[in-house]
A and B are shown apart, each in its own frame.
Chain A
């Protein structure tokens, strides 16, 4: 699974970072970036929680092995 952050939508509320900081980080510009190309299997449930928590619906989790 891979997660995509829509940086145009992200408002930097940081709830995803609160849920799973191993995957998300707030950058110096205040916008969240994903730290991983692939979401480790043991963090998929946490990322799903972060997707649901995101106030801007800026996160999407999708199947796929290609990190591009």
Chain B
């Protein structure tokens, strides 16, 4: 044990709170503060593009209650603005005031901010990352608007599906040639694209956004091919960037996240760990990886807590990350980290029938397992991860 007595967690979402819980579970009984920019505390962010937006869920059933015995000192609405790791000083702004906190252990869990497009500031334009943003969007959807979703990734597709479920007129625009293709490859991308079309979404692929138009409030979106789409609500979901601006004076390597060892210890500091979307970790091959999925943050939390408590010899993070998406009645589950150009081999069933499972394959290794409408199929095939695929698999190359 490293004898910590005063740990500060910066970031009040899944990674931060789960790390706080893991610290307690592992016997840490010192002071434990959580600096949380959002007022609500720990809540289930994945619902913001799904059940919360549709109105099936409200704030009360999004909140993830904390165990009574965690003894956390949560600072809601507080924002970390600077870090001096040599002096172990964290600057925090709250209620218009700024103060310096000392710490002997620090958890960086500030997650992501949505990537902003250089668009005019028109009412009716939304980003979906935080509850407050989703709340405004939800109230605008109640008026029955025409919706244009910019970005056909996981969030964009989920928002589009939710809006169609509300009976709204929805267009999705993406520069890729298929929805979700940059995430799940062309085969699954085609299936998801056809699903959205069958559900009545206007899918505009292979085209970018040229501009937004309106007077105070958005009225239309123009595309790079000159098309004009009338719109009452525009949702921008074009990816995310790590929230590391507050670390700019820390001396850390902030190239796309905070660079960490494989056990989440931040390089260039003692007793600082990073967890979740913001953490870029070194893998045994020397490559670095940063993973933007909820379950990854949850799983990394215990590793981060252990590293903080045990120091450099704590074991590395090795878990296979899972992510999932729900669109209409389609449930997608993925384990591993496939890339869009990995070769897809069907393992069972027929993906085009929204069922079955497949393996992503790259450089003689299985990089991911995907299951459509059957999460149990992940279990059946996860043993293939990191292995070479036998060449005589049924199904063969689908991509």
Contact = CB atoms under 8 A, between A and B. Distances in A.
A7 interface: no
Given A13-B324, A55-B294, A55-B295, A18 B335 contact: yes
Interface string A44-58: 000000001101110
A55 B326 CA distance: 14
Nearest to B46: A55
Interface residues of B, number: 23
Which label, helix, strand, loop or mixed, suits the secondary structure of the A interface?
loop
A17 B331 CA distance: 12
A17 B379 CA distance: 8
B290 interface: no
B241 interface: no
A52 B376 CA distance: 17
B371 interface: yes
B375 A26 contact: yes
Contacts, number: 53
Contact of B375 (A11, A21, A52, A56): A21
Contacts of A14: 324, 331, 333, 375
B32 interface: no
Given A52-B298, A53-B298, A55-B298, A17 B375 contact: yes
B321 to A, nearest CB: 10
A55 B44 contact: yes
Contacts of B393: none
Interface in B290-348: 294-295, 298-299, 302, 322, 324, 326, 331, 333, 335
A6 to B, nearest CB: 10
Chain A interface extent, by class:
10 to 19
Nearest to A15: B322
Interface string A1-40: 0000000110101110111110000100000000000000
Contacts of B46: 11, 13, 55
Given A14-B375, A18-B376, A53 B322 contact: yes
B43 to A, nearest CB: 10
A29 B314 CA distance: 42
B84 to A, nearest CB: 34
Interface of A: 8-9, 11, 13-15, 17-21, 26, 52-53, 55-57
22 contacts: A8-B61, A13-B324, A14-B375, A15-B295, A15-B333, A15-B375, A18-B371, A18-B375, A18-B376, A18-B379, A19-B378, A20-B379, A21-B375, A21-B376, A21-B379, A52-B298, A52-B302, A53-B322, A55-B14, A55-B294, A55-B298, A56-B44
